[in-house]
Structure 1
Amino acid sequence: MKIAISATGPSLDAEVDPRFGRCQYFVIVDPDTMEFEALENTSQMASGGAGIASAQTVANKGVQAVLTGNCGPNAYQTLEAAGIEVITGVSGTIRDAVEGYKSGRFQATSGPSVDAHFGMGGGGTGMGGGMGMGRGMGRGMGRGMGMGPGMGMGPGMGMGPGMGMGPGMGMGPGILEQELEALKAQSQMIGQQLSEIMRRLDELEKKGK
């Protein structure tokens, strides 16, 4: 079997990169033989869709599991759809991460651990203010597609601020397609959240009668 680990360098002694979609390298390791292949992450500077593109890269390598520090919703959905186990919260060297995986020290993650734009840096063209709906709605969205404060339903029901695109990175070949896929995935998640909000509103209205 093979596992993919987000890495800061192309060796087993490199540190685990806490960002999956925007890590510097992917180290593909056979845990039984410790043979490995290092791939430079060509999506790390993309203006959008880095998580999906990175997930597709490791999926094409036939890995059964991904070990990383954090994994956003777009990457998580792509990996899950490919049947790849996702393990977050991993740190230390790549070698240590592999040993921890072999010893059963890690458990699979049940969802994304950060929002959709984790690791993109500051600045950029945000979409803050107005029409907000609270703070969070679980681990999936956080601050990814939020529209500012307002209409809060208590913790766990809203979408938070932000949608920053990071400092100007251009739109090279394939970036528009990646951005489109990322936005489609995010719109689907927002639709699901809106349905949950409406369901909860209906429940509260019935209880209030």
Structure 2
Amino acid sequence: MRVAVSAAGPGLDSPVDPRFGRCPYFIIVDTDTMEYEAVPNTSQYAASGAGIQAAQTIAGRGVKAVLTGNVGPNAFQALSSAGIQIITGVTGTVREAVTKYKEGNLGRAGGPTAPMRYGMGGFGMGMGRGGGQGMGRRMGRFGPPAYANVPSVAPFPQMTKEQEIQMLQNRMEMLQSQLDQIKKRLKELKAEEKSGEAETRDSNKGE
């Protein structure tokens, strides 16, 4: 079975990215062999319709399930229409997410978990000014384009406090996971650096 995981990097040990439509990569994993393919998300910087475009990319690769942090209403509708199972609230690394999925420890989403244009600003992960990771001016003023064969979706209503709490908790867990990965990598690099310095000293002594 093939599943797609929204990821911050191109490998199995990359952190899961909480943004389905605007993650940098989709890691397509065969759950039986753990062989994988890293697919760059070409809709990451789209002015609008990123979730739908990402869903179309995933659907064209024979994926049966998507593992991600949050998914907006348009992407949810597009994935559901394609018969793709949607798992949200996923944290940790891609490898950990797939393992949890195989063990049956991840629950299926009953509906969208993020408002429209989630990831384009507001929470600092988007394409606009004000703390985003983006490409300049805010681009969210354009409405989503019409796509053939994709059902129209009603605007996502304002989130309740419970929904916002859940989304923020997911976001916090994701950031903590990313921080842990950074700390782990820094520790590895420092250890390699010390090892290299020790080898250099030993080599100089022998000369």
Shared topology, TM-score over 0.5? yes
- Residue of structure 2 equivalent to 1:130: none
Q: How high is the sequence identity, in percent, across the aligned residues?
A: 56
Q: Alpha carbons of 1:81 and 1:44: their partners in 2 closer, same or farther (altered >3 Å)?
A: same
1:189 aligned partner: 154
The Cα of 1:121 is off from its aligned counterpart by 1.8
Runs of 4+ aligned structure 1 residues displaced above 3 Å come to none
Partner of 1:50: 50
Hey, what's the Cα distance between the residues in 2 that align with 1:167 and 1:53?
A: 21
2:106 counterpart of 1:106 = yes
Structure 2: distance between partners of 1:8 and 1:66: 15
| TM-aligned CA distance change 1:12 to 1:58, over 3 Å | same
Specify the SS of the correspondent of 2:145: helix
Question: 1:119 — aligned with what?
Answer: 119
Deviation at 1:181, TM superposition (A): 3.8
- 1:4-83 correspondence to structure 2 within 5 Å: 4-83=4-83
Structure that is richer in helix per residue: 2
Deviations 1:54-109 (A, max 9, x none): 00000100100000000000000000000000000000000000100000001110
Q: Deviations over 1:164-190 (max 9, x none)?
A: xx93459xxxx99x62349x966x415
| Alignment partner of 1:167 is 2:137 | yes
1:179 maps to amino acid: P
SS at match of 2:113: coil
- Once residues 103 and 45 of structure 2 are traced to their aligned partners in structure 1, the CA distance between those partners, rounded to angstroms, is 34
**Alignment match, 2:94:** 94
Given that residues 45 and 169 in structure 1 are in contact (C-alpha distance below 8 angstroms), is that contact kept between their aligned partners in structure 2? no
Distance in 2, Cα, partners of 1:56 & 1:22: 14
CA RMSD of aligned residues (A): 2.9
TM-score, with structure 1 as normaliser: 0.63
Give, as a single letter, the amino acid of the residue that structure 1 aligns with 2:4: A
Offset from partner CA, 1:14-57 (integer Å, 9 cap, x none): 00000000000000000110000000101000110000000000
Instruction: State the alpha-carbon separation in 2 of the partners of residues 41 and 185 from structure 1.
Output: 22
User: What TM-score do the two structures reach when normalised by structure 2?
Assistant: 0.63
> Quick check: which has more Rg, 1 or 2?
2
**What are structure 1's unaligned runs of at least 5 residues?**
125-165, 194-209
Correspondences of 1:123-134 after superposition (within 5 Å):
none
Distance in structure 2 (CA, Å) of the matches to 1:36 and 1:28:
5
SS of the residue corresponding to residue 189 of structure 1 reads: coil
SS in 1 for 2:23: coil
Structure 2 unaligned blocks of 5 or more = 129-135, 158-207
Aligned-partner Cα distance in 1 for 2:76–2:139: 24
Q: 3-state SS of the aligned residue for 1:66? A: strand
